[in-house]
Amino acid sequence: MFRDNIVESLLGKTTQKRKSRIPAKLDFLQSATGLILATFILFHLIFEASILLGKDSMYAITKMFEGDFFIEGGSPIFISVLASIIFAIFILHALLAMRKFPNSYREYLRLRTHAKLMKHSDTNLWIIQAITGFMMFFLGSVHLYIVWTQPQNIGPFASSDRVYSDMFYPLYFMLLVSVVLHAGAGVYRLIMKWGWFDGKNPKSNRVKTRKIVKVVTTIYLIMGLLSLITYIKIGYEHKSEYGKRYVPTTEVRDEN
Ligand code: HEM
């Protein structure tokens, strides 16, 4: 043994085991999948808000996602493919995040006490993220499964019928609040973790970043709520014709 150690030292080798790089890699993968999903949601809620500009605008966006710019009339299969990719990233992100959940109630209580004692707002943010992430695991899965398996049922009337007549509005309300808070807290923590905008004055830049993230999160919440109210209103007005599809005004004009 002693002789082996001397030989290893002479050869410049060490008997100490190397620290595993796997946790760092998993951490990076969690940040990367989170960033992809947050970017997706930023655009998703804007596209969804097209309903605020009128039914024709939402119809045009739906057709764009169905690929009508390169296939005559488009096909819902493209929405299904996109949904399956997002679903896979969503599941991977949730799996990676599960590693960081407290393992027991006692561990959770210790974390809460720590957050309260230290008045540590970043720990509070972590708790918000864990709770909203847990909610999204269920709510997001229901939504993704529906758009994945019924991509043909998206449009000004089809979506509003689902939201109002199929009673999806409570689910969308909870999903909207949890996804916007989760993404806002997540993006803020990512910026802090990797020090993206630290610049020469990290302390004041971090305070600025916090303010900007808060403003953007509030804008998204308001925009999402207004869109949801609009889908509910259209669904309510359309309830007697449930299932009937929207015909854009240009096509109605052509028919006349
Ligand atoms: C490719 C995947 C997705 C597609 C095609 C899609 C499509 C849609 C559509 C068409 C609506 C309008 C309501 C309806 O038709 O049921 C909607 C609403 C919504 N989606 Fe998605 N979605 C996708 C992924 C996600 C994900 C991953 C989340 C978050 C986890 C999400 C969160 C929401 C929320 C919160 C609303 C309600 C928005 C509002 O009314 O303000 N979606 N989505």
Q: What is the pLDDT of residues 166-224, one digit of tens each?
A: 999 999 999 999 999 999 999 998 888 888 888 888 888 888 999 999 999 999 999 99
In a domain, 189, yes or no: yes
- What average pLDDT is seen over the chain? 88
Residue 90 in contact with ligand 1 by CB distance below 6 A: yes
In a domain, 98, yes or no: yes
> Average pLDDT for residues 112-137, to the nearest whole number?
78
The CATH number for 232's domain is 1.20.1300.10
pTM, to two decimals: 0.87
Nearest by Cα to 232 from 170, 182, 153: 170
Residues near 118 by beta carbon (within 8 Å), at least 6 away in sequence: none
In a domain, 251, yes or no: no
Residues near 226 by beta carbon (within 8 Å), at least 6 away in sequence: 49, 52
Q: Which of 37, 136, 147 to mutate to test the pocket of ligand 1 (most atoms within 8 A of CB)?
A: 147
In a domain, 2, yes or no: no
Q: How far is the CA of 172 from the centre of ligand 1 (A)?
A: 8
What is the Cα–Cα distance from 206 to 165, expressed in whole angstroms? 45
Name the residue range of residue 182's domain.
21-244
What is each CA distance from 22 to 15, 26, 28, 95, in whole angstroms? 20, 6, 10, 15
Residue 231 in contact with ligand 1 by CB distance below 6 A: yes
The number of distinct structural domains making up the chain is 1
